[in-house]
Structure 1
Amino acid sequence: MILSLIILILILMNMNLLKFGEKTNKQEGGLPRRLDMQEILEIKRILEEQRRDIKEIKDEIKDIKRRLSIREDISERIRRRAMDFLKYRG
């Protein structure tokens, strides 16, 4: 969420929609510049792409956690069998 906000700020700065340290029309006594429909649609498209990317990353993290859990379970089973083997053998 924070990452997408940072990326949105950088994109807006790149598109000259958000400027830091510069006077805006509102500071000069005028009205703030309104975004046109094309800019709004572009921002919306970018946000949708970021949401999809975040969802894919979350799914990958879940898959990695699941695989790690399976590996830990297998390691634990092997360790128990080795201990049982040594117990009966010795």
Structure 2
Amino acid sequence: DRLLRERARAVGRATALLLDVLNPDLVVVTEHSSLLNPEYLEEIRGAAVDLSHVCGDPERIVSPHAGMTVLPVAGGTIALNPLFRSPLAASQR
């Protein structure tokens, strides 16, 4: 547990930097332990909000709606990218 919390805080530090530099409306964190246990997402949020200069709202940091299937879905998206980009060209191959 200690190691995963430490890792979550490290992800939170990186998230804080992204929030400060890019200031997005929402950050989707796909760190695996935060998908398994919501307490680790809270660690990430806590570290990010504590260290960020522009983000005071932990609800801007979320886990993906795909849950545990986020990595296979991301891989499928990359594999299907040529088809989505140019359906006619991809079908002629």
**TM-score of the superposed pair, with normalisation by structure 1:** 0.27
TM-score (norm 2): 0.26
Kindly indicate whether structure 1 or structure 2 has the higher relative contact order, using CA contacts under 8 Å at least 6 residues apart: 2
